[in-house]
Amino acid sequence: MPWWDTTIEVLISDYLAPVMGSLVLMGMWFMGTGETRLRNQFVTICGTMSVGFASGAVGIINGFYFRTRPFIDLDLDLLFYQPTDSSFPANTTAVGFAMAAAVFIRRRRLGLALFGLAFLWGFARVYSGIHYPSDVLAGGAIGIAAAGLGLGLTQLLSPLLRLVLRVPRAFYLA
């Protein structure tokens, strides 16, 4: 089915999900007024930290454990380029779920939409032979844990963040 393969190719790309998540975070930065805007900006900061924590955790795990990709083990035809890094855990899913969980904290519907996109991203990568299902599940768990860590750190640093955000506000950047 050519239309299905085309759909999967769009979903597995390195651009669709991360760009959409980044645009949502950037939009939240400027959304609302007063205290609502500040809380949205904390979500953006939390989401950014969460992506960093998730990628860092995956990088650390990859330093100790390497798993070959399904397309190598199962001799599959790819719809995507051949990644050479470890399959486990799925960094893409970790990033997608980290952004979704951070947004979900403040904006439930928007967060659910990003969770759906992150799920589709992971499903498409399993379907296309880039990851095993366990890679995606582990990546999702890492992303959600990273968002929890980002939320905790954001709350801990809240007084400092409020102070620091005064500078960009003076230039209409926050």
Q: What is the pLDDT of residue 24?
A: 94
Q: What is the pLDDT of residue 127?
A: 87
Residue 169 pLDDT > 90: no
Q: What is the pLDDT of residue 156?
A: 96
Residue 30 pLDDT > 80: yes
Residues 25 and 51: their CA atoms lie apart, in Å, by 11
Least confident window among 16-20, 43-47, 53-57: 16-20
Query: What is the rounded average pLDDT of the residues 10-22?
Result: 85
Q: What is the pLDDT of residue 4?
A: 79
Query: What is the rounded average pLDDT of the residues 2-9?
Result: 78
Q: What is the pLDDT of residue 1?
A: 65
Tell me the pLDDT band of 6, cut-offs 50, 70 and 90: confident
Q: Is the dihedral of CA 39, 41, 47, 52 positive or negative?
A: negative
Residue 171 pLDDT > 90: no
Dump pLDDT digits (tens) for 88-136. Answer: 999 999 999 999 999 999 899 999 999 999 999 999 889 888 899 999 9
Residue among 135, 141, 119, 114 at smallest CA distance from 19: 114
Dump pLDDT digits (tens) for 62-88. Answer: 999 999 888 877 877 666 777 778 889
Residue 36 pLDDT > 80: yes
